Structures are given as structure tokens and as C-alpha cells.
Amino acid sequence: MSASPPLPLPLLKRIPPGLWTALAWYAAAVEPIVEYVVMPQVPTYSLNYPRDGLDSLGAQALLAVAFVLILAGSAVLRRRTSAAYGLVIAGTVISTVAWRQDEIPPTQFLAVDIALCYLAATRPRRNSLTAAAAALGTLAGYLVLRLITGDDSSIAQEPFVALTVVIAWLIGNSSHQARSHNAELHARAAAEAVTAERLRIAREMHDTVAHSIGIIALQAGAAARVIETQPAKAREAMLTVEMAGRETLSGLRRMLGALRQADHDEERQGRAHAPAPLRPAAGLANVEQLAATTTAAGVRVEVRWQGRRRPLPADIDLAAFRIVQESVTNAVRHSGADSCQVRLDYRADELTVEVSDRGEGGGTSTDTGYGLIGMRERAALLHGDFTAGPRPGGGFLVAARLPVPAVTEAEAKAGVR
């Protein structure tokens, strides 16, 4: 019942960031071992990777420690990003000690850049700046160490590697800002959807009250005309007026007790919704008609009534029908099923509504679709419960529980909604 099935992530995004970090580091670490230690000796020679650099057991042990640190850091990069980032830097530094290097090769530092990019994308800016400073400080330490020892035999690589650190941080920070902006836009859109839904519910409540006032006016007029000639009829009409008034007031208390006043800024800016015209409020009496119309459209709707059907308060009756209507509409549009089931269970103190299907459409209880937001809002305003999500055996289930206040015997006889 979701607005659209979830799209699969691109292949590059499905690979965990820790795996990217490990692949980059191990590729840079294994290549010189194969080229300068395992392969037969060739005339070429590397200052960064001397052929006898790993001859001692101490060097081999240090390189093994570096491999373990990088593996551990890559494994926990998603769960403990800051600690994992520190392990990646430590492993990189120890690998240079094992090779007796006085600088970090740029390819070896690429793994640190990847980890920094992920940290900047997922953690607060304060943490990412600290991490970038740690990387730059490590590079500065190598540069200072060479200056102290007087080794100026080659061009310093640290400024170029530092530039890659800055670029990695900028990429990660941009991703973090984009995600924060999208989350803010989505939260704002959801809040606006809730406000619009509450305004629509308030307008429907207005229609319900207008309908009840019309009944009161008609019954009061009838009672006034027959009060002298038919006192029993007049008494029955006034009883109807009393019940209708109490029911309307009860509905207003429930609604006004939960509704918050909508923001009037949009109205001042000329973007407020126009009030809906007065119309008879829909209710559960129209469920059968809804089922017939949907069945004629190609999706068979089965309606099951359980419990003793009885008049319901107007706001509960309307909310239940809207939940059924929205759920059936979503089943037709998104589930791909050829049928759905509607179950309405009248219990002593509540009404339960369930709409289920066996379709293949996806969805969760946290779906971003505003249809689910509206249904959940209706249930919450009536102090009820609402759930929506995939069924264990396949398909989708929408369930709502709406508390129903106790109905007096006089109300039941009057049949007032």
C-alpha cells in the first residue's frame, strides 16, 4: 500500500563503507609486498618499500599488527565510527614503521580518506572536523620529523596528501548537509500533511454538527406543533432533540480536546485551504456501496460485519469509514491484489476496523505516504490505535481500534447518530 515500491540501492551504495576502507588499504599494502618481496628481484628499486624492509621478525610482526588494526577498524566503522577511524590511522602509521618509511605513501592513506568521508557524512560536523584534524596532524608529524632529522632527499608528499584529506571531508560534509536538508523537508511536508488532514477533519466535524443542528431544529419544530394535541409525540421529538444535542456535544469535546489550532501563517499568505461546502457526512452505512463500486472496478471487496451493529457517534462513524475508504483505495492502487477483505467488529466499548489484502505491494508502518498519516491522525484524535504494515504471510494489513463511548438505552431507542 505504499505510494511506490522501494527502489533497490545502486551497487556502489550497497557495499558497506568498512569494506571500501579495507579494500583500499589492503590493496595498497599487499601490492608492494608482492612486487618487492615475493616477485623475483628486478633492477627497479623503491625508496618507500626497500626489498629488505620486512626481513626482520619485528617488521613482520608490526605489519601483521597493522593488518589486524585495519581489519578491526573496517569491521566496526558503521557502529563505532570514531574509534574505527582511529584504528585505521593507527594501522596506517604502524605499517610505515614496519617498512621503515619516513612518510606515508599516498595510496596507503587513501583508506583514511574513505573513512574520513564516511565519518563526515554520518557524524556531527564537530566530530568530523576533529577527525580531519587528526589526519592532518599525522601528516604534519611526518613532515616535522623529516625536517628535524634533516632528510630532504625527496619532494614532500604531505601537502598533496593533505589536499586529499580536505577533499574527502568536503565530500562527506556535503553529503551530510544534503541528508539533513532532505530530512528537514520531509519533516516539514509531514507536518503540513498532518495540519491539512486535521483541517479537513475539522471541516467534516462542522458538517456533522450542522446536520445534527438541522435534526434538532426539525424535531423541535415538530414538538412545538403537536405539544397540545399529541403530547406523546412531542415528548418523543424532544427526547430525540436531547439525544442529538448530547451526542453532538460529546463529539465536539472529543475532537476539540485533541485538535491543536492550525498555523494561521499560511492563511495570511493566501495559501489556506478554502472551506469545503456543506454536504451530508459519509459513514459506515456507505461501506457496502464502496465495496460494490470497487468490485465493479475490478478489485473484489468482501465486507464482514461482526458483533451487534448499532448507531455510532458521528465522528467515530465518519473516521471508521474514511479509514476503510483510504485503505481500499490504496489496495486498488498499490497492492496488485485482485481482492481485499474489510472486517468491522462492533465490540462493547470499541470498534475495530481491519482491511487486508494478499497483494505484492510493499509498505511499512512508517511509510512516508500521507494516506497512512491521515488514517493514523484520525485514530489518534479519537484516542484509538492504528497500525499498518506487511502481513507475515504476504500482503498488507491496516488495523484501527476506535473506542466507543457507552450508549444509553434511550439513545439506542432513538437511533440517533
Q: What's phi and psi for 242, nearest 5 deg? A: -60, -45
- Over pLDDT 90: what percentage of the chain? 33
The mean pLDDT of 234-258, rounded to a whole number, is: 74
Amino acid at site 367? D
DSSP state of 123: S
Q: Give yes or no for residue 159 having a pLDDT over 70.
A: yes
- Over pLDDT 70: what percentage of the chain? 77
**DSSP H helical segments within 259-395, as ranges?**
265-268, 287-296, 314-330, 370-381
Q: What does the pLDDT read at residue 149?
A: 79
pLDDT in tens, 98-111: 888 888 888 989 99
Lowest mean pLDDT among 35-44, 145-154, 268-277, 300-309: 268-277
pLDDT in tens, 173-199: 999 999 999 988 888 888 888 777 777
Q: Give SS3 for 5.
A: coil
Q: What does the pLDDT read at residue 82?
A: 92
- Long-range CB contacts (within 8 A, 24+) of 258-267: 258/380, 258/381, 258/382, 258/383, 259/198, 259/201, 259/202, 259/381, 260/198, 262/195, 262/198, 262/199, 263/195
Q: Give yes or no for residue 364 having a pLDDT over 90.
A: no
Highest mean pLDDT among 131-145, 149-163, 224-238 belongs to 131-145
Q: What does the pLDDT read at residue 169?
A: 96
Q: What does the pLDDT read at residue 122?
A: 92
Band (pLDDT 50/70/90 cuts) for residue 222 is confident
Q: Which three cell numbers stand for residue 400?
A: 484501527
DSSP state of 49: S
Q: Which three cell numbers stand for residue 263?
A: 498555523
Q: Is 303 left (phi over 0), alpha (psi -120 to 50) or beta?
A: beta
Buried b / exposed e over 350-359, threshold 16 CB at 10 Å, is bbbbbbbbbb
Residue with cell 505484492: 360
pTM for the structure as a whole: 0.53
In terms of Cβ atoms closer than 10 Å to its own Cβ (0-12, 13-18, 19+), residue 124 is exposed
Question: What is the rounded distance in angstroms from the CA atom of residue 236 to the CA atom of residue 243?
Answer: 11
Q: What does the pLDDT read at residue 270?
A: 43
Amino acid at site 78? R
Contact 396, 340 (CB under 8 A): no
